[in-house]
A and B are shown apart, each in its own frame.
Chain A
Amino acid sequence: MRMCFLLERGVPPRLNPVIAETCVLLEGRGVQVTALYPEEEVVRLDTLAVAADLYLLKSNTELALSLATAIERLGGRVLNRCSGARLAASKVLSAAALLQAGIATPRSLVAGQPAQVAAELAAGPLILKPHGGHYGRGITVVDSPAALPPADAYPHLVFAQRFLARARTDLKVFGIGDEVFGLRKSFSPDSFLQAGELSPLSPSVEGMARRCGHAFGLDLYGLDFAEDEDGGEYIVDVNSFPGYRGVPDAARRLAEHIMKAAGTR
């Protein structure tokens, strides 16, 4: 059995330790594992062929998603499926998919330019996020029209969500197939690299997480929750194939799930 991880080098360069260990575990089970950093290769496209039994899309780059899209349409298997990865990569479509699945998410707006959301600020602060952004880059909380960034701050479109100012936003939920885990960690510019503390999940949060994974068609996902003082729970971000830092036995669970996924064609 051959498996190919589509990886991103990232800035700063890093290989997620969970992924490194997962590769070792898969090799121990007789899988031939290759790692592809598409940006560091010159990939021939007009002769592109499916060369592995399973591709693991652990990269958020455009090129990785493009290649995964091609491979899937050429008959290859990709985990997560590209449709789910694309939904999660779009803030606008993620919000719409959550709403459609009946999962609470803060009021979400999309406009061409930041100035167009000014009227919404009368009802409270907004958090602005770039189209297709990752790792918390380009996120701004705005509480008055004067504080809105200029038009060129968000060149394609601006996505804005009601900012839940008094909510706890430190709960992350990770899904590996049917298993879900909660971790609490405080937000910081590099918090995506930090592990949190394992935290038991309320039945409602666990239910929301499972419904979300199902609605997006994601096997491997990470969710950011916000919990307000009135007991309201919201999903504020959906990520495809997260790093699983802090999830107990993450590599073993991932390897198990990947083997299971590879065997169920």
Chain B
Amino acid sequence: MRVAIFLEPEDPANPGAPVGHINPVTAEVIARLEERGAHVDLVVPEASCFDVAAIRPEHDLYVLKSKTPLALSVAGVLTLAGAVIVNTVESCQLIRDKVATTALLARAGVPVPPSWATGDAALLQPLLEEGAMWVKPKQGSKGRGVRRLADPAELAAFLQTDQPSADASGLPLPVFAQREVPSNGRDLKTYVVADSVWAIAKPWPIRTIEDKYGVPAALPAEIRAAALACGRALGLEIYGVDFLVADARFFVVDVNAIPGFRGPEEGPRRIASYLYARALRGGLAARAPTAVGTGAGSVEGRSG
């Protein structure tokens, strides 16, 4: 069995180096897959130049730990060629899109804060008269670029800053805004592998390394159900859902595909078992030989 794991470049200043970022959880997942006899290739797409015609599935399973535009593009081509990919490229792209994701989660009955999209942040003014909002870049991740705007005055200041308003083609960029909802000042992060769910409590903002790892927390049944509903609505298999909890109420504020999984001790083992089973079920060996690539010039990686 051959498994390829797509990784982000270890050094953002030198993305062309073929060294991927491996956190301790990923390292343990790799070790456990290898223990079971899988051959694991670590692929940093940013380190290569790909001939699009030569991108063919050579592995029984591709794991998208990296979701950079290049990783998703290469994985998208592999999907067209019939590769098995966890999570699917479609789901990874969907959850990078907060606009579509929010609408779909709300429709699935998952509580989300009141949310809006526009191309012009100035139009948010009437909403800010009614209370604070969080403004996020639509394709944001890891909390980058998220801003709290308390009132119209802060919006006016925000509009004075250099916010890119158009993409490279001159098309306007979207603005995603969410009403601030009450919380007890703690994030409840849930981690899901298929139907196993764990919860970690983390303070926000994160100030210490202990804050970053969080502490195992009780998982109320309705939050567990909401986390699983997110996965179903978005087609995810290995993912994290972040909740804001205030007394009896809770809201989903973020969904991540294959997040860090820091916390649940059995997480890496469950991830490895899931991936192993997924590769067996849908991998190259389970399919017709015509679906197998020639092996020439396709996705190459450093052996793990």
Which residues does A use to contact B, with CB under 8 Å?
8-11, 38-48, 60-63, 66-67, 69-70, 73-74, 86, 90, 92-93, 95-97, 99-100, 107-113, 115-117, 119-120, 130-135, 137-138, 156-157
Give Cα A115–Cα B16 distance, bound, in whole angstroms: 10
* A112–B116 touching, CB < 8 Å: no
* B94–A63 touching, CB < 8 Å: no
* A70–B119 touching, CB < 8 Å: no
* B99–A39 touching, CB < 8 Å: no
Give Cα A40–Cα B120 distance, bound, in whole angstroms: 7
Tell me which residues across on chain B come within 8 A of A46, comparing CB atoms: 102-103, 106, 112-115
Partner of B100, one of A42, A66, A108, A134: A66
Among B70, B103, B104, the most chain A Cβ lie within 10 Å of the Cβ of: B103
Residue B48 lies at the interface, judged by CB distance under 8 Å to chain A: yes
CB within 8 Å of A: which of B38-53? Answer: 45-53
Give Cα A42–Cα B116 distance, bound, in whole angstroms: 6
* A96–B55 touching, CB < 8 Å: yes
Please name the residue on chain B nearest to A108 by beta carbon.
Answer: B52
- Given contacts A69-B97, A100-B81, are A134 and B119 in contact (CB under 8 A)? no
Which of B166-174, B241-249, B266-274 faces chain A?
Answer: B166-174
Interface 0/1 of B60-96, CB less than 8 Å to A: 0000000011100110110011000000000001100
* A137–B169 touching, CB < 8 Å: yes
Tell me which residues across on chain A come within 8 A of B104, comparing CB atoms: 70, 73-74
Residue B260 lies at the interface, judged by CB distance under 8 Å to chain A: no
Q: Nearest Cβ in chain A — how far from B43, in angstroms?
A: 12
Please name the residue on chain A nearest to B117 by beta carbon.
Answer: A43
Tell me which residues across on chain B come within 8 A of A41, comparing CB atoms: 118, 123
* B166–A90 touching, CB < 8 Å: no
Please name the residue on chain A nearest to B101 by beta carbon.
Answer: A70
- Given contacts A73-B100, A108-B52, are A116 and B16 in contact (CB under 8 A)? yes
Give Cα A38–Cα B169 distance, bound, in whole angstroms: 17
* B106–A62 touching, CB < 8 Å: no
Q: Nearest Cβ in chain A — how far from B199, in angstroms?
A: 24
Q: Nearest Cβ in chain B — how far from A32, in angstroms?
A: 23
Q: Nearest Cβ in chain B — how far from A25, in angstroms?
A: 27
Interface residues on B, range: 35 or more
- Given contacts A63-B99, A130-B168, are A112 and B115 in contact (CB under 8 A)? no
Q: How many A-B residue pairs have C-beta atoms within 8 angstroms? Tell me.
A: 175
Please name the residue on chain A nearest to B68 by beta carbon.
Answer: A156
Interface 0/1 of B184-203, CB less than 8 Å to A: 00000000000000000000
12 pairs across A/B with beta carbons < 8 Å? A38-B119, A42-B124, A45-B106, A47-B106, A70-B99, A70-B100, A70-B103, A73-B100, A73-B104, A74-B103, A138-B169, A157-B68
What does DSSP make chain B's interface, helix, strand, loop or mixed? mixed
Which residues does B use to contact A, with CB under 8 Å?
15-16, 45-53, 55, 68-70, 73-74, 76-77, 80-81, 93-94, 97, 99-100, 102-104, 106-107, 112-120, 123-124, 127, 138-139, 166-174
* B99–A133 touching, CB < 8 Å: no
Q: Nearest Cβ in chain B — how far from A218, in angstroms?
A: 15
Please name the residue on chain A nearest to B15 by beta carbon.
Answer: A112
* A107–B80 touching, CB < 8 Å: no
* A62–B138 touching, CB < 8 Å: yes
* A66–B168 touching, CB < 8 Å: no
* B100–A69 touching, CB < 8 Å: yes
Partner of B16, one of A8, A108, A113: A113
Tell me which residues across on chain A come within 8 A of B73, comparing CB atoms: 90, 92-93, 110, 131, 157
Q: Nearest Cβ in chain B — how far from A68, in angstroms?
A: 9
* A38–B117 touching, CB < 8 Å: yes
* A108–B53 touching, CB < 8 Å: yes
* B74–A110 touching, CB < 8 Å: yes
Partner of B15, one of A38, A86, A113, A138: A113
* A96–B172 touching, CB < 8 Å: no
Q: Nearest Cβ in chain A — how far from B271, in angstroms?
A: 27
Tell me which residues across on chain A come within 8 A of B114, comparing CB atoms: 44, 46
* B94–A117 touching, CB < 8 Å: no
* B80–A39 touching, CB < 8 Å: no
